[in-house]
Structure 1
Amino acid sequence: MKDTAMRPIILLPVLALILLGGCAQPELPRDHFYRLMVPTPEGASSAPELPGVIEVQRLAADGLVSERPLVFSFRDDTQALRQYNYNLWNEAPPAIVQDQLSRYLQAAGIARRVVTPELRQRPDYQVVGKIRRFEQVVGAPHGVAVELELGVVRLRDDGLVFRRSYFAERKTVDDAPATAARAINEALAEVFAGFVRDIRELKVR
């Protein structure tokens, strides 16, 4: 009789564990963060192209492009933009593009000194612009697309020296976000190189 009476009591914890296991939520995906690390230019100018100090402003960006989640579109519908939920840049694109562009211009020897507004230097020129596209393109052929509008302003007379759009694409082997992040670095290097080339050819003064 004792064994029969104890059996329901023993079974209750087992049933509770089964019920809890059935109600347990699946583990959420982990966030993945990506740095922007644009390859530096191969050769620097022997003499600065711009006399004085050039200040790189934070670039403007609209909507999803201004936010940290990686943005993607589909090859057959590039008008519609979407965001990843768990794949993010370590900072918002306007901030990291500003940082990488200032580093690139300094390495290229474009000016005597390249700064950002946080350094509170008195600049002679400003680099201004806007991020137009900064996205992965999903679907064959896999790839990424980057488009920046960049310009140089001469501060002594508020003259717009020039302003142009720069576009670059890179094909990728797959649609993985990590692959896209690496390809965006390469595409951005092409855009920066075009901007530097224009500064040199125009002989900005």
Structure 2
Amino acid sequence: MNANEHTTVHLAVYDTLADWEVGYVTAHINNETWQQTPGRYKIQTVSVGLDPVTTAGGLRVLPDSLLAELKPADSAMLILPGNDLWPTDAYKPYVDKAREFLDAGVPVAAICGATGALALAGLLDDRAHTSNAAAFLDSLGYAGGQHYKEEHVVVDRDLITAGANAPVEFARAIFERLELYKAPVLDSWYKLYGEQDPAGFYELMSA
């Protein structure tokens, strides 16, 4: 088994990436404090090129690796944040890579506009899913409307989808799929960040 197999979580980065939608994900995968197996995973950014990209918040990110060289067998998951590129040809390589991952049985997590791109590509036609709103996806003329769920996050087989207003739920679903935390720790994590219950903090401190 190669050193990266099933240990690297790949975060797609591109101009207009919505910083706030993946902040919980990146920060907590890289924080080993409460993890079930500390150090098992690492985040690696991936993009169509190696030039710096500028996020929606104006941060400049230097990609670690090239999308074209990414193989599903070398990844634990591909995460697609929201962005303004999703309805354009510039986003097609990311959709193609998501299809490759799903065909290989490797998880993909998409939030906000990234779900729109997957819808346009037909990747939501036969999977339960969610997004920013049913009307958002319906406006695209996709064929998966009967599978839409009015929920913060939906997991169907190897696909995690979420709306822009659910970054905490998106993170929780990713952590659960990766088995990053034991169940009681994940419950306390969500109690703190999702329910804003300070009891979650003290539970985490004693974990």
- Normalised to the residue count of structure 2, the TM-score between the two structures is 0.23
Rg larger in structure: 1
The structure with higher relative contact order (CA 8 Å, sep 6+) is 1
* TM-score normalized with structure 1 length: 0.24
